[in-house]
Structure 1
Amino acid sequence: MKVSVDRELCYGSAECVHRVPAVFEFVDGFGAVRPGREQVGEEPEILEAVEKCPSQAITLTETPRSAPDGP
């Protein structure tokens, strides 16, 4: 899964930073939030951070799986 934060919508409530500090971080130490890493799993705390974002700025999208190598 790929996590992204719409910086136009994010107003820095920090709900996600407090819930999953290993994934989300403040931009320049305060204000808007960005993913500290983009590729994540479907861990419950990440799904909760997406659901609980007051500005609905966080999205998760499926990342394409690479095709298996040929024979």
Structure 2
Amino acid sequence: MTISVDPEQCYGSGDCVHRAPSVFTLVGGFGAVIPGREHAVDAPRVREAAEGCPSAAITIRDEG
């Protein structure tokens, strides 16, 4: 899976960081994927963060 956060869509609720702190962080007050964690395997928590994102800024692409 590949995870990304659209900085144009994110409004900085921080919900992603709360749900999956090993994958997400805040940069300049907005959600971002921690460098090197774009292919994280913490799937349930990442999916929960994407589904719960109030601005729908998180995208998950399943590979293969």
Give the TM-score taking structure 1 as reference length.
0.79
Structure with a larger share of its residues in strand = 2
For residues 2-59 of structure 1, what are the alpha-carbon distances to aligned partners after superposition, in whole Å with 9 as ceiling and x for unaligned?
000000000110000011110000114xx11110110023621111100000000000
Match of 1:7 in 2: 7
- 2:46 and 2:23 map into 1 onto residues whose CA distance is 8
Match of 2:16 in 1: 16
Question: Highest CA radius of gyration, 1 or 2?
Answer: 1
The answer for unaligned runs of 5 or more in structure 1 is 65-71
Equivalent residues in 2 for 1:1-71 (5 A)? 1-28=1-28, 31-36=29-34, 37-41=37-41, 43-64=43-64
Q: Relative to structure 1, is the Cα distance of residues 22 and 42 closer, same or farther in structure 2, using a 3 angstrom cutoff?
A: closer
Q: How many residues are paired up?
A: 62
Give the TM-score taking structure 2 as reference length.
0.87
The answer for unaligned runs of 5 or more in structure 2 is none
- Any runs of at least 4 consecutive aligned residues in structure 1 with deviations exceeding 4 A, and if so which? none
Q: CA RMSD in A?
A: 1.3
**Identity %, equivalent residues:** 48
